[in-house]
Amino acid sequence: MDSSPTGNVRETGSPATPPARPTPPARPARRAALPLAGFNGRMMAPGLLLLAAVSLLPLAAVIAMSFARVHLLGGLRLEGVGAENWARLFTDPDMAWAWVRTAVYFVLTVGGEMALGTALAVCLWRLRRGRNAALSLLLLPMFVAPVIVGLLGRFLTDSTFGLYTWLLRQLGYNGDVMADQTSAFAAVTLMDIWEWTPLVALIALAGLTTVPSSALEAASLDGAGLPRTLRHIVLPSIAPVLLVALLIRSMDALRYFDIIWNTTGGGPANATKTASVQLYETAFRFFDFGYAAVTGLLMLAVTTVVARYFVRLLERKEPAR
Residues making contact with other proteins (CB under 8 A): 69-76, 79, 158-161, 175-176, 178-179, 181, 264-271, 281, 284-288, 290
d(CA 52, CA 190): 37
| C-beta atoms surrounding 75 within 10 Å | 6
Q: Closest CB to other proteins among 127 and 147?
A: 147
Q: Closest CB to other proteins among 35 and 265?
A: 265
**CB 80, min distance to other proteins, A:** 13
Contact status, residue 238 vs residue 204, Cβ threshold 8 Å: yes
Number of Cα atoms under 13 Å in the Cβ half of residue 302: 19
Q: Closest CB to other proteins among 92 and 252?
A: 92
Q: Closest CB to other proteins among 130 and 265?
A: 265
Contact status, residue 190 vs residue 181, Cβ threshold 8 Å: no
**CB 191, min distance to other proteins, A:** 15
**CB 262, min distance to other proteins, A:** 11
**Nearest in space to 193 (alpha carbons), one of 108, 257, 267, 135:** 108
**CB 98, min distance to other proteins, A:** 12
**CB 36, min distance to other proteins, A:** 21
Q: Closest CB to other proteins among 202 and 294?
A: 294
Contact status, residue 197 vs residue 117, Cβ threshold 8 Å: yes
Residue 289's H or E segment, with its range, is helix 289-317
Contact status, residue 263 vs residue 191, Cβ threshold 8 Å: yes
